[in-house]
Amino acid sequence: MEINLKGKKALVTGGSGGLGRTIVRTLAECGADVAVHYNSDEKSASAVVGELKALGRQAAAFRCDITDFDSVKKMRDDVGKSFGMPDILIVNAVIQYEWKPLLEQDIKDYYSQFESCVMQMVYMSKMFIPYMRERHYGRIVVMNTECAAMAEPNCSAYTSAKRGLDGIVRVLAKEVGADNITVNQIAPGWTITDKERASGVNPAPGYVATVPLARRGTDKDIANMAAFLSSDLASFTTGAYIPVSGGRVMPAI
C-alpha cells in the first residue's frame, strides 16, 4: 500500500513557507502536481517550483493575499487558466505575529488571525469547492493547531481564530460530504521546520516533557498526514480534527 496522488492537482496556501514547502514536496513525491501559493516571498516560491519540476511534476507559483476576497478570486482564475483546478486544497497559510498575554495583545492581531484563519477558509471554499462539486471529488486539508485544544497562555488571538476555523470546517464537512468532498484538520504541535534547523533546533525540554512520544514533531510528520488525508486511503474520513503532536493532545469521546 502506498499514498498515490498521481494524476491529482493540489493547491497549497503558504506553500513557500517553512511547513508549506515540506507539504508541497511530499505531495509531489506522492505523484501530485502542485500549485504553490505565496504572498510576498516570490524567490522562495520559485525555488520550490523548481524543485517540483526537477521531480517531473507540473508546478507553478501564484501570488495572493488570502485575507482579501478579490485577491483569492484572481488566484482562482489564474490557477484555472494556467494550471488547472485543484482536486486537493491544503489551507495552510496564516499571518505571523508576536504572542503576548491577552491584556497586552494588540487588537489588530485578533483581526489578522481571524482574517487569515476563518476568512481564508471561507474565501477558498467559495472559490474552489464549486469546481470540486462539478467533478464530484475533492480533498480539503486544513492546518489547525494543538493550541486550539490546549488554550495555553499568550496565544489568545491564535487560539480564538483557530477555534473559529474548527467550527467552519466541521460545518463544511457536513455540507459537502454528499459531493464526495472530504474536509479534515491537522493539529500540529510545536513543529521543527527548515528555518529552525538552519538557525539551531530548540531542544525545548520543558515542552518535550509534556509530549508522550518525548520529542518535538517535524514538518515531515505533518506533511505525511496531509498526504494521507489528500489520498483515497482517507476517502471515508471527514470532519476530523487530527492532532499530530506526539500525544500531547488526545481528544476525548
d(CA 229, CA 156): 28
Paired residues of 59 in beta bridges: 34
Nearest CA-CA partner of 12 in 68, 64, 67, 82 = 64
* Contacting residues for 28 by C-beta, under 8 A, at least 6 apart: 34, 51, 52, 55, 57, 59
| Residue in the structure block whose three cell numbers are 508546478 | 59
Strands (E), 190-244: 191-192, 217-218, 241-244
Known catalytic residues are 158
Taking the CA atoms of 215, 217, 221 and 226 in sequence, report the sign of the dihedral they define. Answer: positive
